[in-house]
Structure 1
Amino acid sequence: MTKVAVIGSNMVDLIAYTNRMPKEGETLEAPSFQMGCGGKGANQAVACAKLGTEVIMVSKVGDDLFADNTITNFEQHGIDTAFVSKISGVSSGVAPIFVNPSSQNSILIIKGANEYLKPDDIDKASVKLKDADLIVLQLEIPLDTVYHAIEFANKHDIQVLLNPAPAVPGLDIEYACRCDYFVPNETELEILVNKPVNTIDEIREAAKVLLDKGLQNVIVTMGARGSLWLSKTGDERLIEPVPVKAIDTSGAGDAFIGCFSHFLVQTGNTEKALKYASAYAAISVTGKGTQSSYPNVAEFNEFAATYVTN
């Protein structure tokens, strides 16, 4: 049985490691460059698959030189690509990423073929999607497709996780409330509720705004401050971060969601899944790149044995 279905984006990451960002009109030499497979949907799918969960991906690629490489990358990670299809005359999605010496990143995304993932693509994949225990969504694809996926999940009694990234102020909160898990980072939370998020107390109050609107579970990822889970049932947990020396934070949020999805469907225990997700995101920032920095089962089990307590 398929366990996790990711309906979402793929990108080619073009990562430049910089000493500083150039000023307008200035040309700078950057010390190094790396290219890899990325995109929020693809990253989350790969993280989940690397940990051993069966994953199906529903996505679009262009007809350029990046397309076959993206599909091959999915297949090499054991991801079902039956519904990753090409769009003629369109570029694949790309994401230029700039990483500064303190490991923080700035990202541009060009959606390309991701804009062509439509509601009927979900219908075409319905036979396999019906077998999923969890559907994972992000916002690098059209909102109509996201809403249709939520409707599909609700109709077939499938849990659904929505990562509202990149944040869209016009996101229909009624659809968000139909998701089991809503997972923004603190910046996305600030955009969605228009409240400050400088401290954990402020983040907690901002997340409560979403709960008051009817969301079931809000999980705020906070980078080096860990993550915060609030539930409409009154559960609240602050998951402490795992201390590591960060080299590149690109894709850490996706690593968190992919790992959380894996342990959620395997254990059904939200708090346990969050603890493992925090550790998985931490180890991911100790390497360069996005998917290339995600550990496999053996690597993660060794790391988690030291840093995760039940």
Structure 2
Amino acid sequence: MNKIAVIGSNMVDLITYIDRMPRQGETLEAPGFAMGCGGKGANQAVAAAKLGADVLMLSKVGDDVFADNTLANFQRFGIDTQYVNRVPGVSSGVAPIFVQSDSHNSILIVKGANAHLKPADIDAAQAALRDCALIVVQLEIDLATVYYAIEFGKRNGIPVLLNPAPAVAGLSPAHLAQLDFLIPNESELALISGLTVDSPESAAIAARQLVADGIRHVIVTLGEHGALYVGEEGEFRVDGLSVAARDTTGAGDAFIGCFARNWTQDRDIRRAMTQAVGYSACSVTGLGTQTSYPDAEAFAAFLKTV
């Protein structure tokens, strides 16, 4: 049983490539624009599916022109969409993204239909969820639904992975303690732990605190510096890969999707992290979010070049 359930968001990415952000009241010409499918939940589901995972998606789409495209995109990658439902009279989620020439990005999020994904939707899908090896959640949906997903996984003996992004202050310690995996970046780890995180060493200190509070495995993504593990299997680092980054949008989601795919295969955390670091690095060499995610064959070819 290796199926992955992703309970989370989908967005339409509206990507503008810029030289710099305009100042207040200023209008600038931008060199490029692209539109694509995104959203943290959808990105993670697509990354896992592109690598060959069997993925079940729980999400909501709006009552607009974007919904059909989002559903077709999921289905193109073989993702099970029986629990991706439309919300009448509501827009789909959108994410205007501004990518600068140095590859760094700024993102706005309009949740739209994603805010309508509720605990009752998890109950409606409970039979299918019980056949899954891992539940993956993020924070672009209602927090009550995230907590309910964690509780559902705990009750049914299904490991739950939380990617606490976008960062939210004041997450419930009782729910965090029920997690099997927490995978934050450095800023998210600082917000959750209340500690300063500005180096791998300080990240380890903050991660140890969360493990002491009950989380089984904390994996901190460190961007180009790789990833750090603290948990039941001790502590270790996976080094990053040196690549020429073009667009870092969606790199964290690439990490999560690849990690989920690999961990559900053999439960080897170190191997899954190593693959995820490589997959994330590969993704930043392309443009966009899901469009930058390689399939298994392209990823294997990339690894031979680094």
Query: Any idea what SS the aligned residue of 1:288 has?
Result: coil
What is residue 256 of structure 1 aligned with on the other side? 255
Q: Is the 8 A contact 2:139 2:165 kept in 1?
A: yes
Q: Is the 8 A contact 1:2 1:56 kept in 2?
A: no
**2:209 & 2:26 partners in 1: Cα distance?**
43
Q: Is the 8 A contact 1:2 1:128 kept in 2?
A: no
What is residue 180 of structure 2 aligned with on the other side? 180
What is residue 283 of structure 2 aligned with on the other side? 284
Matched, 1:42 2:27: no
Q: Is the 8 A contact 2:94 2:110 kept in 1?
A: yes
1:234 Cα deviation from its structure 2 partner: 5.4
What is residue 303 of structure 2 aligned with on the other side? 304
1:194 Cα deviation from its structure 2 partner: 2.5
What are the ranges of 5 or more consecutive residues in structure 1 without an aligned counterpart?
A: none
1:150 Cα deviation from its structure 2 partner: 1.1
Matched, 1:134 2:140: no
**1:2 & 1:146 partners in 2: Cα distance?**
22
Q: Is the 8 A contact 1:276 1:304 kept in 2?
A: no
Q: Is the 8 A contact 1:3 1:132 kept in 2?
A: yes
Letter in 2 for 1:6: V
Query: Any idea what SS the aligned residue of 1:287 has?
Result: coil
Letter in 2 for 1:127: A
Letter in 1 for 2:87: I
Q: Is the 8 A contact 2:225 2:241 kept in 1?
A: no
Deviates most, 197-206 or 238-247 = 197-206
What is residue 163 of structure 1 aligned with on the other side? 163
1:2 Cα deviation from its structure 2 partner: 6.0
Q: Is the 8 A contact 1:190 1:206 kept in 2?
A: yes
**1:289 & 1:306 partners in 2: Cα distance?**
22
**1:198 & 1:148 partners in 2: Cα distance?**
32
What is residue 97 of structure 2 aligned with on the other side? 97
TM-score by length of 1: 0.96
What is residue 76 of structure 1 aligned with on the other side? 76
Q: Is the 8 A contact 1:239 1:275 kept in 2?
A: yes
1:305 Cα deviation from its structure 2 partner: 4.1
Partner deviation per Cα, 1:61-110 (whole Å, 9 max, x = no partner): 10011111000000000000000000011110000111111101111100
**1:150 & 1:108 partners in 2: Cα distance?**
26
**1:212 & 1:124 partners in 2: Cα distance?**
34
Identity among equivalent positions (%) equals 56
What are the ranges of 5 or more consecutive residues in structure 2 without an aligned counterpart?
A: none
Q: Is the 8 A contact 2:2 2:265 kept in 1?
A: no
What is residue 212 of structure 1 aligned with on the other side? 212
Deviates most, 170-179 or 268-277 = 170-179
TM-score by length of 2: 0.98
Q: Following superposition, which runs of at least 4 residues in structure 1 exceed 6 angstroms of deviation?
A: none
1:116 Cα deviation from its structure 2 partner: 0.2
Deviates most, 43-52 or 166-175 = 166-175
What is residue 118 of structure 1 aligned with on the other side? 118
1:251 Cα deviation from its structure 2 partner: 0.2
What is residue 242 of structure 1 aligned with on the other side? 241
**1:2 & 1:152 partners in 2: Cα distance?**
18
Matched, 1:30 2:30: yes
Q: Is the 8 A contact 1:134 1:265 kept in 2?
A: yes
Letter in 2 for 1:292: T
What is residue 88 of structure 1 aligned with on the other side? 88
